[in-house]
Structure 1
Amino acid sequence: MGGSSAVEEGTYRGSWRMWTRAPAPVLHGAVADYHGFVVDSGEPVSDTVLPAPTITLILTFGDELRMERMPGSDEAGGTFGSFVAGLHDGPGVIAHDGHQAGLQVDLSPLAAGALLDVRLDALTGDVVPLDALLGRAGDELAERLAEAPDWSSRFALLDDILSRRLAGTRAPTPEVAQAWQTIHRTGGTVRVADLAREIGWSRRHLAARFRAEIGLGPKAVGRLVRFSRARWMLSSGRARSLTDVALACGYYDHAHLDREFRALAGGPPSLVGVPPPPTLVDAEG
Structure 2
Amino acid sequence: MVLGARDGTAGARTRAGTVGEIGVVGAVEVARLGGLWRVTRPWHPGLRPYLRSYVGYWEAVATPYEARLVPTGRATLLISLAEPFTQVRRLGVRGGGSGSIGSLVVGLEDRPAICTHPGGQEAIRVEFTPLGAYRLFGMPMSELTNLTVEIRDVLGPDAGVLVERMAATPDWAARFDLLDAALLARLEHGPRPAPEVGHAWHLLAGSAGAIPIARIADEVGWSQGYLTRRFTQQVGLTPKASARVLRFRHAVALLGRGAASLAEISMACGFYDQAHLNREFRAIAGTTPGRMVASRRVEGAVALSGSADSSKTAPVAGR
TM-score > 0.5 by shorter chain: yes
2:297 pairs with 1:275:
yes
Going from structure 1 to structure 2, the CA distance change for 1:77 and 1:276 (only over 3 Å counts) comes to closer
Counterpart AA for 1:275: R
- Cα deviation for residue 257 of structure 1 reads 2.1
- Cα deviation for residue 23 of structure 1 reads 2.6
Listed as ranges, the matches of 1:180-219 within 5 Å are 180-219=201-240
Structure 2 match to 1:59: 79
Q: Distance in 1 between matches of 2:60 and 2:118?
A: 9
2:173 pairs with 1:152:
yes
SS across alignment from 1:37 = strand
Structure 2 match to 1:34: 54
Structure 1 match to 2:32: 9
Structure 2 match to 1:258: 278
Residues 84 and 130, structure 1, Cα contact 8 Å, conserved in 2: yes
- Cα deviation for residue 20 of structure 1 reads 4.0
Structure 1 match to 2:189: 168
Counterpart AA for 2:297: P
RMSD, aligned α-carbons: 2.5
Going from structure 1 to structure 2, the CA distance change for 1:276 and 1:87 (only over 3 Å counts) comes to closer
- Cα deviation for residue 32 of structure 1 reads 1.5
Structure 2 residue corresponding to 1:114, chosen from 135, 155, 158: 135
Counterpart AA for 2:43: P
Listed as ranges, the matches of 1:136-151 within 5 Å are 136-151=157-172
Structure 2 match to 1:228: 249
Counterpart AA for 2:153: A
Going from structure 1 to structure 2, the CA distance change for 1:276 and 1:103 (only over 3 Å counts) comes to closer
Structure 2 residue corresponding to 1:101, chosen from 115, 122, 128: 122
Q: Distance in 2 between matches of 1:34 and 1:57?
A: 10
Gaps of 5+ in 1: 279-285
Gaps of 5+ in 2: 1-25, 300-310, 312-319
Listed as ranges, the matches of 1:40-79 within 5 Å are 42-73=62-93, 75=95, 76-79=97-100
* Larger Rg computed on CA atoms: 2
- Cα deviation for residue 143 of structure 1 reads 2.2
Q: Distance in 1 between matches of 2:201 and 2:43?
A: 21
TM-score by length of 1: 0.85
Report the count of equivalent residues: 272
2:45 pairs with 1:19:
no
SS across alignment from 1:65 = coil
Q: Distance in 1 between matches of 2:236 and 2:253?
A: 23
Counterpart AA for 2:253: W
Per-residue CA deviation, residues 117-168 of structure 1 (Å, 9 max, x unaligned), is 2221111121111111222211122223323444333333333321222122
2:109 pairs with 1:92:
no
Residues 21 and 33, structure 1, Cα contact 8 Å, conserved in 2: no
Going from structure 1 to structure 2, the CA distance change for 1:191 and 1:45 (only over 3 Å counts) comes to same
Q: Distance in 2 between matches of 1:170 and 1:144?
A: 27
Q: Distance in 2 between matches of 1:263 and 1:40?
A: 34
Q: Distance in 1 between matches of 2:267 and 2:171?
A: 43
Residues 73 and 92, structure 1, Cα contact 8 Å, conserved in 2: no
Going from structure 1 to structure 2, the CA distance change for 1:89 and 1:140 (only over 3 Å counts) comes to same
Q: Distance in 2 between matches of 1:151 and 1:246?
A: 43
Going from structure 1 to structure 2, the CA distance change for 1:243 and 1:9 (only over 3 Å counts) comes to farther
SS across alignment from 2:211 = coil
Moved more, 16-25 or 193-202: 16-25
Structure 1 residue corresponding to 2:268, chosen from 222, 226, 248: 248
Q: Distance in 2 between matches of 1:157 and 1:232?
A: 34
Per-residue CA deviation, residues 69-108 of structure 1 (Å, 9 max, x unaligned), is 2254264332111111111211111111121110111012
TM-score by length of 2: 0.77
